[in-house]
Structure 1
């Protein structure tokens, strides 16, 4: 645990990660089944006027989860992204990440944009194991100041994603 975060363990007990203390788990859009789990959360800070949401999709024992190119194609498609992914190798995983800024032409005002950070986390200790992720940051109200900065948002996402620890799952006999 760290100040500003809780430790969240997935319902399938497949991974742990830091979970922002100001965020709310959205049970209506979260789910789990055999070897798959979706975790969604959102957050709105009234003081800063910044809202963000996150989604993580955990895959275990899925052949497609081993194929980096397939997973990055899926993540690219879900985020309408055509660029390259940054690759970082950590002690027990490889993190593929990308980002983009969206500007909404149909929204008037200076806060008509959002930042999206997305990618894939692949276990290096176990095959067929990974997590897709996507986070979106935006200003909630155009009437108020909004200090949303891309680098600060990216650092928050990186802290959460880098905290992911895959857990050894006991095989059922």
Structure 2
């Protein structure tokens, strides 16, 4: 995994707690049709990002006792409903283009939120499972319109951005076409899981990309289970609704 992803996630949490370390990593570039571009193969540019506790049958997420979404001033601006199910709130993007679940200890940093031309919204939120020494990083990029003829290019660039060499799985859920994949790996910090998907609204040219990373907190040893962590990722991704305006 690229170091900037882990650094951005860790520093988001540290910044909330008073860390004065900044993430100065630059976003990677890709090539589409012979031209350099970022994750978005059109001319739009966005900043690259680029515990699970069982409550009965539910996939609730352990509280971070230090930081809760309802107590963080910036995160509260996104919440439209609290306690929609154990351990989760409902959030909506500021462009009013999408809604999804966010863990009750998920924190959105204003440093990692951006809106470009009232058309593209990028946000990253993080949450912890302190008892299991795990950190979770979720990146969302919403576009209120994408060129239909560039749909495959979006998918190809997104796959490369996630260092994925396999084939997407496909599903249709919530009026969305979902192309998604996942893999486990390890770097100098320990094991991690990547789970990601590109979602397109069937009835209009709206799209959203979803990137989820589960990793060990700092250099602490922890157990990253593909089944367990992918279950959290799927719950979040499958909760996404695009709002047809």
Q: Same fold (TM over 0.5)?
A: yes
Match of 2:232 in 1: 156
Higher relative contact order by CA 8 Å / sep ≥ 6: 1 or 2?
A: 1
Gaps of 5+ in 2: 1-83
Gaps of 5+ in 1: none
Shift of 1:76: 0.9
Shift of 1:68: 3.8
Alignment partner of 1:85 is 2:168: yes
Alignment partner of 1:138 is 2:222: no
Match of 2:125 in 1: 41
State the Cα deviation string for residues 103-153 of structure 1 (Å, max 9, x = none).
21xx3xxx7211111120111122x21111111111115555x24311111
- Give the whole-Å Cα distance in 2 for the aligned partners of 1:36 and 1:26: 17
RMSD: 1.7
Q: TM-score, normalised by structure 1?
A: 0.85
Deviating beyond 4 angstroms after TM superposition, the runs of 4 or more aligned structure 1 residues are 141-144
Q: TM-score, normalised by structure 2?
A: 0.61
State the Cα deviation string for residues 23-75 of structure 1 (Å, max 9, x = none).
111221111132110110111221111111010100112215x6442221121
- Give the whole-Å Cα distance in 2 for the aligned partners of 1:77 and 1:55: 16
Aligned in 2, Cα 1:88/1:45: closer, same or farther, shift over 3 Å?
same
Match of 2:101 in 1: 18
Match of 1:113 in 2: 191
Match of 1:99 in 2: 182
Whether the 8 Å contact between 1:27 and 1:40 is mirrored in structure 2 is no
